[in-house]
Chain A
Amino acid sequence: MTGLQRLIGERRMPYVFLLPNLVFFGLFVFVPIAINFVYSVTGGPALFPSERPYVAADQYSYLFDCGSYVDPNTCREDHFWRGVYNTLFFSLFQVLAMVGLSLLTAVVLNMKIRGRGFFRAVYFFPVLLSPVVVALIWKWILQRDGLLNAAITGFGGDRILFLTEPGWAMFWAIFVSVWAHMGFYTLILLAGLQAIPSDIYEAAEMDATPRWRVFWRLTLPLLWPNLIVVIVLSLIRAVQTFDEVFVLTGGGPGTSTLMVVQYIYETAFSNQVQNFGLAAAASVVLGIVLFALTLAQLAFTQRKSS
């Protein structure tokens, strides 16, 4: 190593250590992104890019060919736009519920309550489960003869087909997603809460500040950096949602829980009539959205550190 340092100079040595990681990152991230872009400007059924005819921006034009962007019915590729709107709706309510409930849980778990260790484990446990397992468990609970319907009919109510009614299906998709991932975000917020110095609270107590005011004026501002991380991470994850919702509802009923990632997957692989070009174009659009969200996160984080 000393010989190498003598050969290339000390200033270049960090790049030597970065090189293996850069090679892997480039090979498994940048090269696939480039290949995906190439697919998005080609058409036809062939798999290898060299065998696919160049179609310029045709796939993008097809995706964005809409009478009105607020009405998917006017779009040529209405499934894509239904996926976009479902993903927006899902992300908005999932993130709101996720952040709210994670914050509430973190605050409660930060108090000196009995069985605190047990409850922390209980809330974190679903995070350890595979998304497919989570979705299957809830499918068994929600189906026609599932646990929930057994309870409802046991109390004299009428059976509800939760997964065949659009409203219910979206509600449960959000609920299950929040249930499965809340523990992770709770942990981040809990760490943030524990990092707040206790003397601030002691000072507030000496001033007889009401508890809600302490939370609003002290806890929340000091927790804000962690909250930003939670909001951005959960938003990115919500936009990428696929596995849980796919297994739970299959995107239905109709297309009421069809998300963008499921649209991409089905267009590329599951349709039996695989349309790699269109799926790649939709992936590029999704990639741009995720890139913008990541930039937003970076901007917030930098503002915090400055």
Chain B
Amino acid sequence: MKSTTMLLGCALFAVSLGIGNAQAQTTLRMTWYSDGNEGEVMSDLLRRFEGQNKDIKIVLDQVPFKAINENLPVQLAAGQGPDLARVADLGGVARYMLDLRPHLKDPAYFETNFGPFLEWMRVPGETTSIPGFMTQLTLTGPFVNKTLFEQANVPMPGPKATWEEWAKAAKDVAAKVQAPFPIAIDRSGHRFFSLAITQGAKLFNEKGEPAIVDEGFKRGAQIVFDWHKNGVMSKELWGSVAGTAYRGANDEFKNAQVVMYESGSWQIGQFDKTIGDAFDWVAVPTPCGPANCSGMPGGAALVAIKTTQHPKEVARLMEYLASEQVAAEFYDRSLFVPGHMGIAKKGLEYKSASPQGKAALKVFNEGVSQLSPVANKLQGYVHNRVIFNAVISRLGQAIAGEASLDEAYQRIESDVQQQIAERTKQ
């Protein structure tokens, strides 16, 4: 009886210890979206972090990209957001981000390695906050189905080829191999502007205010419009939906229906994994226009959210994930262009990538040096989504035959003006 009582006492003590531990543990929620395998990689890294930090537990909520852009901002505005989130519309949600400086051991490390990109995460006029770090730097650029070129016996244009040269070659190939999409461009503002900026679009006036429609912009819009008329592009992307809806051609490219697909570096992981050796694909430098051969930069950042009850724990997690070794592993395994200056300088091996995946990453890494200042300025502009939305929506209407290009230009200007006025209303 006595030994039973002692045993029961020990068990109760052990259970109470367990409860004590559980109570001391802080739970952080991280909202995350994935283009490829980065969710798995992040999950691995978080388990490792939890192993080293028994007092922190992280719940990784994996959601679609659409939820990050549409639902998360409403959650954040309602004060119901997670502790951390991976976001792409950096300027749009900047006002909900937490400045981690008071909680970071070494804020200078973040400034040194993520400095140029931190500006994208700050509200206008604010120059010092550190809300997080870039989980990837993205760059728009084309992927080409090399096998289709070989089957059609058409030579691939060289590295400095123009958009027009690519369009001609892609159309020849498509005609010979019966591919339905000579060129596909994601229905996205970033992708359109990668073309428009090569045509000389300046986008901002001397005061730094948006002045979207200029001669360069018109040249870019005319090219996309004409390509839909002459069959270089199919209406199934830009002409098929209303408003600002995003449409990609990933599946069509993976099914070898697209000769040249203007998308971006984030696709490499999934193409590498899903296309395998079904056909040869390559990334090529952004085609050139009269002004330059620049792509559009972009990216996603993991940021701390202002409403978190655990800023210190969030900062500890952020320091771990942004540390050079961990970040390098993340970029390397996810096949991402690094958004960390130190790692970018040293370069990555991309051990898990196939030879064509590695080659594609090399092309995109080199593309970073080709970026036009206009492209960087547009990416850093806090209302860039307003511009992207107006352009997609109105150009889409022109392509569908509902409006002329001139009408679309007028609407783009007035939409941008009205939406910025609404967004800045206090």
CB-CB under 8 A from B70, the residues of chain A are 269-270, 272
Q: Is the CB of A252 within 8 A of B422?
A: no
Between A and B, 30 residue pairs with Cβ closer than 8 Å are A45-B77, A47-B77, A48-B77, A73-B403, A73-B407, A76-B414, A78-B411, A144-B236, A163-B236, A164-B234, A164-B235, A164-B239, A251-B241, A251-B243, A252-B242, A253-B239, A253-B401, A254-B400, A254-B402, A254-B403, A255-B397, A255-B400, A256-B400, A256-B402, A266-B243, A270-B70, A272-B69, A272-B244, A273-B385, A273-B386
Q: Is the CB of B389 within 8 A of A273?
A: yes
Contact with B along A52-79 (1 / 0, CB 8 A): 0101000000100000000001001011
Known: A161-B236, A272-B69, A275-B422. A255 touches B242 (CB 8 A): yes
Q: How far is the CB of B201 from chain A (nearest CB, A)?
A: 21
Distance between Cα atoms of A78 and B383 in the complex (Å)? 22
Residue of A nearest to B421 (CB): A43
Q: How far is the CB of B53 from chain A (nearest CB, A)?
A: 34
Main secondary structure of the interface of A (DSSP, over half): loop
- 15-59 of chain A: CB within 8 A of chain B: 43-48, 53, 55
Distance between Cα atoms of A163 and B239 in the complex (Å)? 10
Q: Does B78 contact A (CB under 8 A)?
A: yes
Q: Does A258 contact B (CB under 8 A)?
A: yes
Q: Does B354 contact A (CB under 8 A)?
A: no
A binding-site residues for B, Cβ under 8 Å: 43-48, 53, 55, 62, 73, 76, 78-79, 144, 161, 163-164, 166, 249-258, 262, 266, 269-275, 277-278
- 387-404 of chain B: CB within 8 A of chain A: 389, 393, 396-397, 399-403
Known: A251-B245, A256-B242. 7 other contacts (CB 8 A): A73-B407, A252-B241, A254-B396, A258-B242, A271-B243, A272-B73, A272-B244
Q: Is the CB of A272 within 8 A of B389?
A: yes
Distance between Cα atoms of A262 and B385 in the complex (Å)? 20
Q: Is the CB of A45 within 8 A of B400?
A: no
B binding-site residues for A, Cβ under 8 Å: 69-71, 73-74, 77-78, 89, 92, 180, 234-236, 239-245, 383, 385-386, 389, 393, 396-397, 399-403, 407, 411, 414, 418-419, 422-423, 425-426
Distance between Cα atoms of A37 and B396 in the complex (Å)? 32
Known: A44-B425, A256-B402, A272-B69. A251 touches B242 (CB 8 A): yes
CB-CB under 8 A from A278, the residues of chain B are 422
Known: A163-B240, A250-B242. A269 touches B74 (CB 8 A): yes
CB-CB under 8 A from A270, the residues of chain B are 70, 243-245
A to B contact number (C-beta, < 8 Å): 123
CB-CB under 8 A from B234, the residues of chain A are 161, 164
CB-CB under 8 A from B407, the residues of chain A are 73
Q: How far is the CB of A51 from chain B (nearest CB, A)?
A: 9
Residue of A nearest to B88 (CB): A272
Q: How far is the CB of A110 from chain B (nearest CB, A)?
A: 41
Q: How far is the CB of A242 from chain B (nearest CB, A)?
A: 13
Residue of A nearest to B386 (CB): A273
CB-CB under 8 A from A273, the residues of chain B are 92, 383, 385-386, 389, 419, 422-423
CB-CB under 8 A from A257, the residues of chain B are 242
